[in-house]
Amino acid sequence: MVVVKEWKIKSQRRNLTIVVEFILLGFSDLPKLQGVLFGIFLIMYMSILLGNGLIIIITKTDPSLQTPMYFFLGNFSFSEICYTSVTLPRMMMNLWTKKRNISFLNCALQLGFLLILGGTECLLLAVMAYDRYVAICKPLYYSLIMNSKVCTQLVLGSWFSAMPILIAQTYQIFSLPFCGSNILNHLFCDMPPLLKLACGKKFINEFFIYADAVVFAMVPFLLILGSYIKIITTILEMPSATGRYKAFSTCSSHLIVVVLFFGSAIITYSIPKSSSLSGVDKVLSLFYTIVTPMFNPLIYSLRNKDVIAALKKLLPKGLIS
């Protein structure tokens, strides 16, 4: 009996593979479009850096934008740049060099930063919704409630509260033994494809993934939803049509961003996971990691007269009509 037990243990150990790197398949199934995809992603990345960079500059330098709403917007734009920079440069390098390997450590770092920045964005969106709630539903107390100290604390809380928990979650995932293939059929290191390759008892990891999703995604989303229910109710009760339009215009841009970000992320993580849907997963992951950050500056600038006025002061005459 002892001999049989030892044989089984040795057999299980032989089946385990010490993974030192992963292979990100990305768009390897489109070999003729590698150059085209690189060009498209390069343009998108430059647009993200330029658009969000301009938002950061004008919210820091323009005197008319020194309010809590634009303070939060500047921080959100900075988080968008960081969030995109975790994945997009690596994807472009893989397309350019056609080398798709990523080391075990770099994969862990990419996932860790992706989770932390994703959690930060969810919390910042909730903070921005709270700011609009106070501004519209409690306008007389706005300057008292949203003072500079509170705004700074809310931003610091959004940036740092998620770090220890999500770092621990990343450590848990990469502490699992990986067996068999080291090929990730994805664009970057993400939790679902990594857990597919892991073996052993994954129940605890999956439980903490769902728990963290509730804390850093579902709770902020419900807070945003509750804030906007109260905001819309307050707006509809306003006697003046001009007042209703002005109040709604101040929060409509944020609402659009919330729908785009949370909508694409929820669809990505709720659809059934199968090999036949891997292409859909890739497209949806591109949407919330690249497309949404690219359109955010446009959404905020095109629907905001103050931002347009600030951009006209900053940019050369004739560039913005």
The pTM for the full model equals: 0.86
Query: Is residue 154, in this structure, part of any structural domain at all?
Result: yes
> Is the pLDDT higher at 74 or at 242?
74
CATH number at residue 309: 1.20.1070.10
What are the φ and ψ backbone dihedral angles of 228, each rounded to 5 degrees? -75, -25
Q: Which tens digit of pLDDT belongs to each residue from 93-152?
A: 988 888 888 998 999 999 999 989 988 998 999 999 999 999 989 989 999 999 999 999
- Residue keyed to tokens 């007389």: 140
Share of the chain above pLDDT 70, in %: 86
Query: Is residue 96, in this structure, part of any structural domain at all?
Result: yes
Query: Is residue 7, in this structure, part of any structural domain at all?
Result: no
Comparing 18-22, 62-66, 108-112, 134-138, the range with the smallest average pLDDT is: 18-22
Query: Is residue 133, in this structure, part of any structural domain at all?
Result: yes
Provide the domain limits for residue 261. Answer: 21-314
> Is the pLDDT higher at 113 or at 301?
113
Q: How far apart are CA 113 and CA 105, in angstroms?
A: 12
Q: Which helix (H) or strand (E) holds 23?
A: strand 21-24
Give residue 268's pLDDT. Answer: 64
Number of domains in the chain: 1
Six-digit token string for 165: 């928990």
Query: Is residue 11, in this structure, part of any structural domain at all?
Result: no
Q: Which of 187, 186, 8 is nearest to 89 (CA)?
A: 187
Q: How far apart are CA 126 and CA 227, in angstroms?
A: 9
Q: Which tens digit of pLDDT belongs to each residue from 166-206?
A: 888 888 888 888 876 788 888 898 887 888 888 766 677 67
Contact between 110 and 102 (Cβ < 8 Å): yes
